[in-house]
Structure 1
Amino acid sequence: MQDEYFPDVVGSDGMDFGKAVCIITGASKGFGRCLAKEIALLLKPGSVFVLVARSGDKLRDLQAELAATRAGKAGLITRCVVADLGVKDDVERVIQEIREAASDTDIDQLLLIHNAGSLGDISRYAKSFTDLHEVNAYLSFNVSSALSLTAGVLEVFSRRQGLRRCVVNVSSLCALKPFPSWVLYCTGKAARDMMFRVLAEEEPNIRVLSYAPGPLDTDMQVEARTSSADAGLKKSFSVMHSQGGLLTCEESCSKLLKVLLKDEYPSGTHLDFYDL
């Protein structure tokens, strides 16, 4: 699988992430799961994966898949954390797991990928969101947790010579463009993009990237074309699906990993699949 997607990145030039601690949220399915499987092939022995998601069964299935790969057989350590990132105690538990994973690991790179996210209720328009608790719960899971988790991880992996630190925010076109009936999702994605732009300004020694993976053929895309309140938006997603316009997770994952390995992007920038 790797050779198909990385013919010019892995192999002849030997590019990889070295011995690393890699943290992926939303790792149990879709884009996050694909990232875990591909990044595993780009890590040196002794590297550590911390995979975070709400579905324990799917995380354990992924852990078994990784153990059976050549990376797993070469000494990749995988830790699964079942957590709801909208809950304060769960975020703290993830950070504690990361702290334990890092305690006896001498690494070259930290790679933190914020992939966890939800659409929110896209069957309604902005004027219907009168319930403050509903809005706060959405923002807690999709925005606040990303900031708190990033801060906690950076405390664990403070700056030191020879340690590369990279934070990736899985973003969306919705961070830049308003989609009718997607007020929560657009707000969350825009907030996260700005959050990580600020981080890049404050911490020039940390590599920061917001990557919009494009329209992926995932469960979220099914929800988009069946539940969107806006008829035009629902139709456009349906046409995209019926005409083969959706991307596979593997296609998008390939582009992201090439960008990260080349490491030539301006820190804090927003890159879209179609920009590359």
Structure 2
Amino acid sequence: MSSADLGRALCIITGASRGFGRTVALQMSRSVKSGSALVLAARSGDELRALQVELSGSEAGRAGLKTVCVVADLSQKEGLESVVKAAAEAFSEDMEHIILINNAASLGDVSRFAKDFTNMADVDSYLSFNVSSFLCLTASILQRFPQRPGLKRTVVNVSSACALQPFSSWVLYCSGKAARHMMFRVLAQEEPDLRVLNYSPGPMATAMLEEGRSRTGDSGLKKLISDLYSDGKLVACEDSCAKMMKLLLEDKFKSGDHIDVFDV
């Protein structure tokens, strides 16, 4: 493998149907060798299939890139298992790189403050999709594709500044991102052969940020988000993804590090 590409790879992308995940799928298709496969997982089947059609008509698709769509709710055991099964079926022995992009996430109820979360079921539901499934999918992929000579393994957590900094009324989102961040730092210590990256893509014009702009309970944070829009300070998904791909291609980051889009 050279820095010009990521090799003949099996790449699993969660939350691939829209926003940053969709952009990752498109840019990844141009960064892997012929004979690679993309496993695209999301809850929205129609959007996934539209992406698959776009990829199959691209230069990479015509050059032999295989794409597999998995409509799955990762908060459910069956959803997680279906992604691992699809990855196993898409893998071929001549592949030299396994890449897992953990992008799927939800914002949670940002209209409420920490003191308002008295219902354990609400919190459990959020953590199941954003934290539990994140760890279990990563572990399942690592078990399914264990370390062996000639096989490089890379796992990415699409993180956020919220993993490191508190934001009022975003208690679920901040807590979930902080948990994922630490899980990957631990993983990097436990698995020295593994390449582990926490990548914060910055504030992007996605459906998630739009939800934050309209529903955030903290007035100061709500204004800050609105100002990002009005001041033209949002990061384009394509630009942020290009920086993540640069990190993966150059492969010089310290495993387990948290790297922000503005630091690349």
TM-score by length of structure 2 reads 0.98
Output one character per residue of 1:205-247: Cα deviation in whole Å (capped at 9) or x when no partner. Answer: 0000000000001111111111100000000110110110101
Match of 1:197 among 185, 191, 196: 185
Superposition pairs of residues 56-205 of structure 1, within 5 angstroms: 56-102=45-91, 104-205=92-193
**Could you tell me how far 1:204 is from its partner in structure 2?**
0.4
Cα separation, 2, equivalents of 1:113 and 1:96: 16
Report Cα offsets for 1:115-158 as digits up to 9, x if no partner: 00000000000111111111011001000001110111111111
**Partner residue in 2 for 1:43:** 32
Corresponding residue of 1:209? 197
* Root mean square deviation, CA, Å: 1.0
CA distance in 1, matches of 2:200, 2:215: 22
Report the 3-state secondary structure (helix = DSSP H, G, I; strand = E; otherwise coil) of the residue aligned with 1:233: helix
Counterpart in 1 of 2:258? 270
Q: Which whole-Å deviations, capped at 9, do the CAs of 1:152-182 have from their partners, x for residues lacking one?
A: 1111111111111000000000000000000
Moved over 4 A (4+): none
Q: What's the offset of the Cα at 1:106?
A: 1.9
CA distance in 2, matches of 1:221, 1:111: 26
Residue 45 of structure 1: CA displacement? 1.1
Cα offset, 1:14, TM superposition: 6.7
Partner of 1:80, secondary structure, is strand
Q: Are 2:25 and 1:25 equivalent residues in the alignment?
A: no
Q: 2:48 corresponds to which letter in structure 1?
A: L
How many Å separate the matches in 1 of 2:31 and 2:166? 36
SS at 1:22's partner residue?
Answer: strand
Partner of 1:256: 244
Structure 2 distance, partners of 1:105, 1:162, is 10
Q: Gaps (5+ residues) in structure 1? A: 1-12
C-alpha separation between the residues in 1 aligned to 2:187 and 2:90? Answer: 24
Cα deviation for residue 186 of structure 1 reads 0.2
Partner of 1:10: none
Structure 2: runs of 5 or more not aligned: none
Task: State the shift of 1:31 in Å.
Answer: 0.2
Aligned length: 263
Instruction: Find the counterpart in structure 2 of residue 9 from structure 1.
Output: none
In 2, the alpha carbon distance for the partners of 1:203 and 1:14 equals 23
